[in-house]
Amino acid sequence: MDDGMQEPAEDWGPFGRPLFNDETRRALSRVGVVDVGSNSVRMVVFDGAARSPAYFFNEKVMAGLGAGFTETGKLNPEGRRRAMAALKRFRRLAEDMGAMPLTVVATAAMREAADGPAFRAEVEAETGLKMWVVDGREEARLSAQGVLLGWPGAYGMVCDIGGSSMELAQIAEGRVGKRFTSALGPLRLQGIEGGKKAVKAEIADTIDRLATEMGVDHKRMFLVGGSWRAIGRLDMERRKYPLHVQHEYRMTPQGIADTLKYIEETPLDSLRAMTGIGEARMSLVPLAAMVLKQMVRRFKPRDIAISSYGIREGMLYEQMPRALRERDPLIEACRFAEQKDARFPGFGRSLYKFLLPLFKSEPESRLRIIRAACLLHDVSWRAHPDYRHEACFDNATRANLGGLTHSERVFLGLALLHRYKSSRSGSRFEPMIELLDPKEIAQAEVLGRAMRFGAMFSADQPGSLGELRWFPKKKVLELWLNDHAHDLFGEVARARFNSLVSALGAQSEIKRQRFRAA
C-alpha cells in the first residue's frame, strides 16, 4: 500500500485509498468501515488475514434513522441525533486505533429521505467524515460480494434486508449477476396503512414482481441483515441447536415455517428473554418474518443459509485483486493464526505432509479441513494445560472463520481437542459433537491423535525423520524411521503413536530405512 500517493482520496472511491496493491499480501491492517443504515449505524474495524479478516472492533447503535419515513419522507429527528453521536464516537475511536480514514457508506434511508443531503453535509462538517450514499443496486452488489468473501464458491440468491429496503442479487462462479432493490424493509412496512392485511398484500405483490425479474431457480438463499439473523437465532432456540454461531447456519423451508409460527405464537418479551435480542431489533422481527414467509413460498429455495457477512465485508472484497479472491479464506486465516500464535510457525505444513498418508483417499473438501487443523494445532499452547483441549475446541467452533459449515467447525474443533486429550466423554461439547455422524467423529479422533503424535515426534520437520504408511484394508500402520530418528522415538512419542494405532483399530510395524524426505 502506498499511503504517499498524491491523487485525491475521492478518486479511489469509498475507501479513499487502495488496500490491496500487493496481490501477495497476507495481512490487512486496521481498516475501518461504517455502515449507516435505516435501522442501525455500525462501525467495524478489520485486521488480520487479508482474505479472511478478523473483527478487531465491532460496535452498533440502533439509531433508527428510517423510523417514520413512510409518513414524513424525512429522517427521524431522534435517529439523526443518535446517528451523529455514533459517528462522532466512531471517528474518535478510529483515530485512536489507527484505522483512519474511515469508509462511511449509507443506504436506503439516506438516499431516499428529503433531508438526506443536508444530514450528509452536517456529518461531514462536524466530523470530517465523507459519507458515500449508494443506490439499491449497488447495495445489492456489495452485500453479495460480502457473501462471496465468506464463500468463494457460493451460488444462489443473496437477500439482504435492512430497515427501509430489501435487496436481491444472484451469485455464481465468484461473480454477482442480476440484482434488484425493493421497499420491503420492516421500518418502511410499519408505515403502511390498512393493517396487517394491507402489509401482507404489499409484501406479496412486491415479491411476485421480484420473482418475475430474478427468476425462481435458486437452490440456495443467503440471508444478510440483522432481522434475518434474529430469525436465525430464534430458529436455533426453537430447535435447541447447540452451536450459536450465526454465520453459515442452515435452515430448511419447513424449519423456517415452523419457526415463523413459533414467533407468531410467542410474546416478543419472552423471545427476547430467551435469546438476548435487543428490543429495537425484536420489534421488527414480526414484519421481517412476514417477508421471509413470502420469499420462501415464492422462490422455493431448498436450502437457506445465514450470512454474517454483508455490505461491510463486500467493500473489502471489492478491492481484492482476483488472485487474492481465489485464495481459500479458511486456510488463509489459519496460516495467519499460526504465524501469529504458534510456537513453531511453518510446522503445520510439515505436519500436514507427514500425516497425509492416513487420509490419501479423502476428497479435497475434507483435506482442506485437515490442513486447517494442522495449521491450528499449536496456536492455543498458552492456555493452561488442563484446559488446552477446551480452548482448542472453543477456538475452532466459535472463531471468526470463513468457508466453514457448522459440521466442519465441529469436526475441526474435535480434532484439535484430541490433539491435546484422548478422551472426550463427559465434556460440555457432547451436544455439539452430535452434529457429526459416527464416521466423522472417528476420523476427527484419528486426526487429533495423529497430530498429537506428529507434534511430539519432532519439533522441526517430522517428514525428514520418518514417514507413515497406512494400509487400510490390512489395517496396518507402518512407521518408517531413519537413523536420525532413533533417539526421538522415545517412550512418550511411542505412547502417542500407539494411541494413534488404537484409534485406527490397527496393528503397527516399526521399520528402519535410510531415505531422503520428499
pLDDT in tens, 472-517: 999 999 999 988 887 888 899 899 999 999 999 999 999 987 655 4
Parts of the chain belonging to CATH 3.30.420.150: 137-313
Residue 188 has, within 13 A of its CA and on its CB side, a CA count of 20
The angle that helices 438-457 and 347-355 make with each other, rounded to 10 degrees, is 120
For 9-133, CATH gives: 3.30.420.40
How many C-beta neighbours within 10 Å does residue 250 have? 15
Name the residue among 488, 445, 482 with its Cα closest to residue 467. Answer: 482
CA 411/CA 382 separation, integer angstroms: 22
Residue type, 89: R
CA distance 67 to 75: 7
13 pLDDT band, cuts 50/70/90, is: low
166 with 159: CB under 8 angstroms?
A: yes
Residue-wise pLDDT tens digits, 65-76: 999 998 999 999
Query: What is d(CA 348, CA 337) in angstroms, rounded to the nearest whole number?
Result: 11
What would the mean pLDDT of 406-417 be, rounded to a whole number? 96
Give CA–CA dist 236/112, Å, rounded: 35
Reported confidence tier of residue 277, pLDDT bands at 50, 70, 90? very high
Looking at the chain, the domain(s) classified CATH 1.10.3210.10 span: 329-512
Q: What is the Cα Rg of the chain in Å?
A: 26
CATH class of 137-313: alpha beta
CATH code of 329-512, in short, is 1.10.3210.10
CATH 3.30.420.40 positions along the chain are 9-133
pTM given for the model: 0.90
Q: What is the pLDDT of residue 14?
A: 62
